[in-house]
């Protein structure tokens, strides 16, 4: 089926999911929209996150997408069920795939979760994990400083290490988790620092790979996979600064910069 897959996120973090989609589904076209102008979503009220998410969804529906991937954990926690009820295309979030991946990796069933305030307060990850295995012990931690840092393009160096180290101290002090879920799609962009801080003995889980696998499975089942032979043309949209978005996208997607540059289009928003 020659229609694109739509991917939405509160900013650049969803590029980590888009990267996995490009790797696992190289024939499929992607249309990505990152709401960098209004990022982060984590501190916002649920009603506002729902409103912003639907604005992004409606934009992508105009592009005739065949599937929607909600690559923002906060938006997934607050809107996934509503989107699935009201849309006539498959909708995939990132929380369930991340939870399943963590359970596969954990040996002692003690799992940590880091995310935005909205994601952590929603208890979406503990609920998803305990729905699979009620014996799992979950330690979750809100990390409000990480998304703004990533959106500014600070992905490495002393400043990034300092922020991550200070943020993760509560989890380090407990020192019993063997698996850590990156409950925000921005966090894989600083995964190496997170791994260094939390320790090599902890499995660090990003939901991107599992989410892409689920997308592939569902599209195959629904006979929506593109079966022809082509080099797909992807489109990337951002509501905020193009320069920061282009720089991070070109690094993370591991594609020639001109491809990203030609595809990124700014969207003017007044609210």
Question: Does residue 42 have a known ligand-binding role?
Answer: yes
Active-site residue among 128, 184, 204, 260? 184
For the stretch 5-55, pLDDT in tens is 999 999 888 998 999 998 899 899 999 999 988 989 999 999 999 999 999
Map out the domains of the chain with their CATH numbers.
5-93+209-266 (3.40.50.1860), 95-207 (3.40.50.1860)
Helix, coil or strand: residue 44: coil
Of 89, 180, 179, 99, nearest to 133 by C-alpha is: 99
Helix 15-24 vs helix 208-221: crossing angle, to nearest 10:
50
- Name residue 269's beta-bridge partners: none
Question: Does residue 185 have a known ligand-binding role?
Answer: yes
124 near 49, Cβ under 8 Å?
Answer: no
- Is 72 an annotated catalytic residue? yes
Question: Does residue 73 have a known ligand-binding role?
Answer: yes
Strand order across the beta sheet in which 203-205 lies? 137-142, 110-115, 179-182, 203-205
- Name residue 179's beta-bridge partners: 111, 203
Question: Does residue 118 have a known ligand-binding role?
Answer: no
Q: What is the pLDDT along the chain (271 residues), one digit of tens a residue?
A: 689 999 999 988 899 899 999 889 989 999 999 998 898 999 999 999 999 999 999 999 989 999 999 999 999 999 999 999 999 999 999 999 999 999 999 999 999 999 999 999 999 999 999 999 999 999 999 999 999 999 888 999 999 999 999 999 999 887 689 999 999 989 999 999 999 999 999 999 988 888 988 999 998 888 888 888 888 888 888 888 888 888 888 877 765 433 343 333 344 443 3
CA dist., res. 37 & res. 26, Å (int): 29
CA dist., res. 95 & res. 129, Å (int): 9
- Is 184 an annotated catalytic residue? yes
Burial of 104 (0-12, 13-18, 19+ CB in 10 A): exposed
């Amino acid at each position: 089926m020659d229609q694109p897959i739509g991917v939405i996120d509160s900013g650049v973090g969803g590029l980590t999911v888009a990267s996995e989609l490009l790797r696992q589904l190289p024939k499929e076209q992607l249309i990505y929209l990152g709401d960098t102008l209004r990022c982060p979503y984590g501190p916002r009220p649920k009603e506002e996150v729902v409103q912003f998410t639907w604005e992004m969804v409606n934009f992508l529906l105009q592009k005739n997408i065949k599937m929607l991937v909600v690559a923002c954990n906060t938006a997934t926690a607050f809107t996934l069920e509503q989107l699935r009820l009201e849309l006539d295309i498959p909708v995939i979030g990132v929380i369930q795939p991340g939870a399943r991946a963590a359970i596969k990796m954990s040996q002692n069933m003690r799992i940590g979760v880091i995310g935005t305030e909205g994601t952590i307060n929603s208890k979406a990850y503990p609920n998803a994990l305990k729905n699979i295995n009620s014996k799992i012990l979950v330690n979750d931690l809100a990390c409000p400083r990480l998304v703004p840092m990533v959106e500014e393009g600070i992905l490495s160096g002393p400043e990034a290490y300092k922020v991550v180290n200070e943020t993760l101290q509560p989890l380090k002090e407990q020192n019993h988790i063997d698996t850590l879920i990156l409950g925000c799609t921005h966090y894989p962009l600083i995964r190496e620092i997170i791994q260094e801080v939390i320790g090599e003995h902890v499995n660090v889980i990003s939901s991107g790979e599992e989410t892409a696998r689920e997308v592939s499975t569902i599209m195959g089942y629904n006979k929506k996979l593109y079966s022809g032979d082509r080099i797909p043309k992807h489109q990337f949209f951002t509501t905020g600064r193009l320069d920061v978005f282009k720089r991070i996208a070109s690094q993370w997607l591991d594609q020639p910069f001109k491809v990203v540059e030609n595809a990124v289009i700014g969207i003017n928003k007044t609210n």
